[in-house]
Every structure is written in structure tokens, then in C-alpha cells.
């Protein structure tokens, strides 16, 4: 019992880290379930519609019970900002991501999203939301860590090398969804189409993350904000899917994997995880949240190896090591930068108090 206050303090200080670890585990499940559903024949545009519908329905009661008395006024200009944010970060981004799953594996999609930290860092740097302290060690740690993370993602995605045949279940006659990535890459058209769509989705996702910080200053009710974005995205996605798919039978859902996938992505990923991500962005900024993206790749690769019997290669292991190394390097830099800012503020506070005492 003596250590309870210390445990509570440690938990409070590490809540952003715990939240982002949970977020990436959920995202790994999203990649695996979404790929299985899309591969079974579900239309990607319709998948987005049902996902946003489940998310809106799941979030609406929470908004009513927790934020109905604290919802700030929604101005006309702010509504259009939220509408535009949902268009680029939810509607277009998700449609590109799910269409790309038709041309890539779940592991490759998870690997490609590791470009998000570098993209987010560059955009935030251009907008002066992030700084590089070249004269400080933590500045170099953030820069080098970002580069190492991107290199690790590229190695994981594009370099295979010898296979590590330590898993006894692999036989020459077995194939799996993830292991068939070599066949996907055999076509030049498929090689370009999938990565290009995912790259575009990653850029839009980075822009969405950065846009949330200024929007939350005007509209700090996080649950209401993400619910509005999901609702706007539902309208946008429905219009888009109705134009792209006019066969009514394609819209039917049964008690199968498709229903499980859209419910998981809508309720767990969008309703719960997006709120956690908004909270983390508010606490630590968009680059901090983006730097946890490599963990989803590692989790996806491990689950794919056991569930879908994916053959792990030397390139996969090397890429994962680089990703983990780059991740912790950046986190160390962010931690040192945060401590530096706090220590700079303390002398100012002490000086102000001292001056008040002197005047008294």
C-alpha cells in the first residue's frame, strides 16, 4: 500500500504511452480483419460506409451521456473545417486504404503506414508545429530516429532475403494470404497501384492528424468532434459508394466475417481508437502519436505468422529491428525535449515568486 501513490503517479505520467500501445494493437487487428473481408469479395467503398455507420451509432450515445452539457457552439466556419477534415482524413483516406488492400497484403499495408511518422514530422516542421534543436542531442535523436524508422519500414516491405524456417508448420505445398505477396508483386501494375494508393492515404492521414490540434482548440469536446467527423464521413462515403457500386446485392450484410470486420473497425477502431488518438494528440502532439505506428506492423507480422502461416524472412526481422530502434530513439528525444521545456519554465516561475516576495 505504501507504493500505491507512486504507482498512480507512474500510471498518470505514462497514460499517453499506454493509450498509443493499445491503439496500435487495435490497428493491427483492423489490418488483419479488413484484408480478410476485402479479399472475400466485399466492396471497399461499401466497407467504409458500414464502418462509419457503426462508428456514428456507437459514439452518439456516449456524446449524449458525457458531453451533452459541455458541447461548445458550432460556428459555420468551424463546421466546414470539421467537414473538410473528415473528407480528407476519413473518407478519402479510408477509401484509398481499403482499395489498396485489393493489391497488397495486410503485412505490406501495415509496413507502408510506417511512412506516416516521417510525413507527419515533415509537415509539422513546415508548419512550425515541431522544431529540430540541432545543437541539442534530443534534436538529433528525433531526426535520426525518424530516418531509421522509415528505413526499417522500407526494408520490411521491399527486402525479403532468406526465409527463417524455424516454424515447423511450413511445407512446400502450403500457401497463405500473406505469403502470396510474391505473386502480387509479380505484376508491375500491381506493384505500383497498391503502394501508390497507400502512400496517398498516409499523406492524407498525416494531414488529418495535424489538423486536429487547431480544431480542438476551437472545439475541445473530443467525443462530439469525432462523432461529427464520422457522421460527415458517413454522408460523404455513402454518396461515393452509391456512385461506384449500384448493385444492391453488394450492400447486403450477413452474420459472417464482413459484419465482424465492419463492426470491429467502426466501434473499436473508429469510435474508441480515434478518441484515444485525439486525446493523445492533445496531450503530446501529432508527431508523438505517429511515432507509435511501427508497433502495428510488428503485431501484424507476428499474428500473420501464427494464424496465416506467413514465412518470416531475414528482411522482415531486420526491418522490425530498425523500426523498434528508430521508435525508441524518437521517443527518447521527445522525452528529453519535454523535460527540457519543463525545466526552462521552472526558473521563470521561481523568479516571479521571488519578485513578488521582494515587492512585498
Q: Is 258 left (phi over 0), alpha (psi -120 to 50) or beta?
A: alpha
140: in domain = yes
8: in domain = no
Distance CA(310)–CA(165), nearest Å, equals: 11
In tens, the pLDDT along 251-305 reads 988 888 999 999 999 889 877 887 787 788 777 777 677 677 777 877 887 777 7
Stretches in the chain below the pLDDT threshold 50: 1-2, 169-186, 348-360
Q: Is 40 exposed, middle or buried (0-12, 13-18, 19+ CB in 10 A)?
A: exposed
9: in domain = no
Domain ranges, residue 225: 15-359
156: in domain = yes
278: in domain = yes
Cell of 74: 458550432
In tens, the pLDDT along 302-356 reads 777 777 666 667 777 787 788 778 877 877 777 677 666 655 555 544 433 333 3
Q: What is the total count of domains within the chain?
A: 1
Instruction: Return the C-alpha torsion angle 54, 56, 57, 58, nearest 10.
Output: 80
**pTM for the whole structure:** 0.74
Instruction: Return the C-alpha torsion angle 336, 341, 343, 348, nearest 10.
Output: 170
2: in domain = no
222: in domain = yes
pLDDT at position 176: 44
5: in domain = no
Amino acid at each position: 500500500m505504501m507504493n500505491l501513490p507512486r504507482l498512480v503517479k507512474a500510471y498518470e505520467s505514462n497514460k499517453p504511452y499506454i493509450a498509443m500501445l493499445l491503439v496500435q494493437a487495435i490497428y493491427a487487428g483492423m489490418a488483419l480483419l479488413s484484408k480478410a473481408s476485402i479479399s472475400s469479395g466485399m466492396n471497399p467503398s461499401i466497407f467504409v460506409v458500414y464502418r462509419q455507420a457503426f462508428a456514428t451509432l456507437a459514439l452518439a450515445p456516449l456524446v449524449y451521456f458525457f458531453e451533452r452539457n459541455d458541447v461548445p457552439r458550432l460556428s459555420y466556419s468551424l463546421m466546414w473545417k470539421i467537414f473538410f477534415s473528415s473528407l480528407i482524413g476519413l473518407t478519402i483516406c479510408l477509401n484509398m486504404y481499403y482499395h489498396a488492400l485489393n493489391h497488397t497484403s495486410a503485412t505490406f499495408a501495415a509496413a507502408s503506414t510506417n511512412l506516416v511518422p516521417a510525413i507527419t514530422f515533415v509537415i509539422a516542421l513546415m508548419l512550425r508545429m515541431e522544431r529540430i534543436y540541432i545543437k541539442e542531442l534530443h534534436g538529433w535523436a528525433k531526426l535520426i530516429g525518424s530516418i531509421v524508422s522509415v528505413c526499417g519500414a522500407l526494408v520490411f516491405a521491399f527486402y525479403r532475403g532468406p526465409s527463417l524456417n524455424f516454424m515447423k508448420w511450413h511445407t512446400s505445398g502450403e500457401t497463405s494470404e500473406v505469403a502470396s505477396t510474391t505473386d502480387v508483386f509479380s505484376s508491375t501494375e500491381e506493384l505500383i497501384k497498391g503502394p501508390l494508393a497507400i502512400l496517398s492515404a498516409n499523406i492524407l492521414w498525416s494531414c488529418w492528424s495535424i489538423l486536429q490540434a487547431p480544431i480542438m482548440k476551437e472545439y475541445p469536446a473530443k467525443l462530439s468532434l469525432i462523432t461529427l467527423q464520422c457522421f460527415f464521413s458517413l454522408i460523404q462515403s455513402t454518396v461515393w459508394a452509391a456512385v461506384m457500386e449500384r448493385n444492391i446485392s453488394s450492400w447486403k450484410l450477413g452474420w459472417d466475417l464482413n459484419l465482424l470486420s465492419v463492426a470491429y473497425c467502426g466501434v473499436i477502431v473508429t469510435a474508441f481508437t480515434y478518441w484515444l488518438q485525439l486525446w493523445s494528440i492533445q496531450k503530446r502532439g501529432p508527431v508523438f502519436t505517429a511515432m507509435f505506428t511501427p508497433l502495428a506492423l510488428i503485431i501484424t507480422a507476428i499474428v500473420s505468422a501464427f494464424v496465416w502461416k506467413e514465412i518470416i524472412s531475414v528482411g522482415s526481422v531486420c526491418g522490425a529491428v530498425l523500426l523498434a530502434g528508430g521508435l525508441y530513439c524518437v521517443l527518447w528525444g521527445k522525452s528529453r525535449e519535454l523535460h527540457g521545456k519543463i525545466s526552462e519554465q521552472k526558473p521563470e516561475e521561481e523568479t516571479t515568486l521571488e519578485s513578488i516576495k521582494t515587492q512585498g
